[in-house]
Structure 1
Amino acid sequence: MITGTGVRARTLTAALAAGALLLGAAGCGTRQDDVETSSQKGEPSATATPSSDVPTVDGLAMDMPPALSQPAVSADILVTGSSSLSKDAVEKVAKLRGVTDTDSFSLANFYDEERPVSYAAVDPATFRRFTPAGSAKTQAVWQRVAGGEMAVDPAVGKRLEDDKGYVRMGTAEDADRVHVGAYAPLVARASGKSVIDAVVNEKWASELGMKKDNALLVSTGATAPREVYSTIQKIMGKDASVQILGVDLKIGQQLTAVVTGGSVTGSLDTLRYTATAGGGVRVDPAWVAKYIRTEEVPILGRVTCNKVMLPELRAALTEVVQRGLADKIHPGEYAGCFVPKFIAGTSQLSFHSFGTALDMNVPGNQRGTVGEMDRTVVAIFKKWGFAWGGDWSYTDPMHFELHKVVEAR
């Protein structure tokens, strides 16, 4: 589901707001445990309530977590659903032989330059145990999260943060913004690829339109995750996604995508899909029947796209024709709209899987280039609510995706 709310960049109440803690990577595959801010070095001491040393966000701060008293645990299995997971089912999983620890939290995604960013709303006191030991032990990281700021994986954070230290939680101009308080490795697959890119505290869940407690991390200790995988899937039901974090996606395994941060608020339900042989994606037929349409539009002719996007696409192309620019778009070089697929080289869904993006004039507009897309055409598409891949840090000038709904006028 794509949701969006008004801009919310709440005031931080301590001077340290200007500097994010850094718990970064050092060398190939190693983790660095040093923590710094722009104004001090070392960890602030743990306190029961926010102190003057810890920035807090008005209305979204929690009690400070106690110092870590239990060892960090492995994040072996991730369970996700399109709605809150059954408490009874979660309790049954926690009691399974071979399961040593569990933690419930809220999980969603927003998109940044067609790259999904997975973020969680958590209880810092319990979730921290499922992160790498260096992160789990660093009290300052979890104080920042408890205070209402965001902790971001270093591999992702710098491309998301604006010049004032905030992350916009979606493509829409009016998406909520959260201040970055710390950079720290979070939850990843055994390969090192991040599974959860950012965390906020659980008070943010309702503010950001997240599904409450729709995710569960499971640690299996010395037990191989595969030994409990089938039982967990049976307990959680066919609508839940159960992933072993140490391996690639299982062919035929049902997965879900819950997207927040767009301004097409409430227009799309959770997308259910399965990975197919050869790296393909099969989207739930019921979802396709509800949202995907094939219609005629100017210049391009028949296109298959999400019904939410078709009015904006038709309006943009109509204006292109009216302004005498139809020859700037080449129908024979159109590469589609609803094209369920993973982003190249990843197991993350492309925005094309939702039918809310399209690629045009492909040969002359390859990734990483300035491209040949006519800039007046680009301006027209932006007017009608589209973001352009040519503006991204790693450019994709053939690509346009809907990020807000514009009323016809």
Structure 2
Amino acid sequence: MQWVAAVGVLTLAGCLTAEPEARSGPEALSVATAEVPVPAPVASAPPPAVPAAVPAPDRARPPVVVPVRELGERRRPDVLVTRAEPLPPESINQLAALSPEGGAVTFRAGIVRIGDKDVRAVGVDPSTFRAFTAEGTAEATAVWESIARGEVVASHEAGQALALTLGQAVPVAAPGTAPLSLRLGALATTGVPGADLVVGEETAQALGLPMSTAMLLTAGTDNAGKVKDPVVFAGKVRSITGEAAQVDLLTAPVSNPVALLTGAKAAKAFGAFSYRYFPDGTIEPDARWVRANIQSATLPIMGRVTCHKLMIPQLRGALQAVVDAGLGDQLKTFDGCYVPRFIESNPENSISLHTWGIAIDMDAATNYRGIRGTMHPEIVNIFKRWGFRWGGDWAYTDPMHFELA
């Protein structure tokens, strides 16, 4: 079994002008596939003839004099760490030591308001942060110079949702404060979860974004030049951060497991427990095991789910990849994860992997046993890339069902 501390496989490419015809592909040139970044031509609003950010009457634009360094070596962002409070300096040092030199960057993250909407924003040093963005955006110096001038860069999704246009003054406010008017310098997909807006460090400080609440890290390579497994790397990150921080995997596992988990293997991997069973085929696992292993979380598309704690990050990553592929509307219902029972609720059968909370059923109404079902083939491919086995491949099909392989 392979587990990841993930949210999703996220990539980005170049920025575009505000004209819709500049986009191509499923959504936009700046949106890459789930695994391979697609280079794209980039453009941004030209530097303004007036100050980049026009202050609101009671707010002064922070002075921005930070030059943007040339792009050096690009870095693959393998793991994202986020925390409500600033990361302790000792943790930052320990985390940075896991990555090769230059393979870690801290930045600010938090919530701001545009009008009556809450928007997720990050405050970065454009010279260091750009190396962690995908091909196309990393090379777009105009984008990073825009941020250095004190302008704001928005994701395409945020730009569309908020009806933003390049060059306009955007009123951005910290909760409970007067807005700071910032010029929209570019539209770009950041590749970082929760980064609907990107601003520079000084602007972020003026907006009240807490410092060092997020960190990107690359796993790098071993002595033989082989890319380190990001799953193992994420585990090392988690050993430093503990439960105080969220650890998301931004790249797919190096390899996917192929062995089929049986009940015995599941017990070894996810913990053995005593249980009682009932004539209706349901099972009551030991309460101590449940408290230690079964957790609830809010995930993309599905909302609140209850599963094994080790599967939740991997499931989050797969579902986020479905969203990133533009297929979120293809999944209609969540039909169970942690459901302690025997297979087909028959006490004469083996214990279902739902008992460990390491299997999930979706869209049961149109994907019941014995039929081909309606599960979108690309969703199946995404889940397989994230280490899941699909019941639709079985001789007696169960296309609603995905389980950890």
Q: TM-score range by the shorter chain?
A: 0.3 to 0.5
TM-score, normalising length: structure 1: 0.47
TM-score, normalising length: structure 2: 0.47
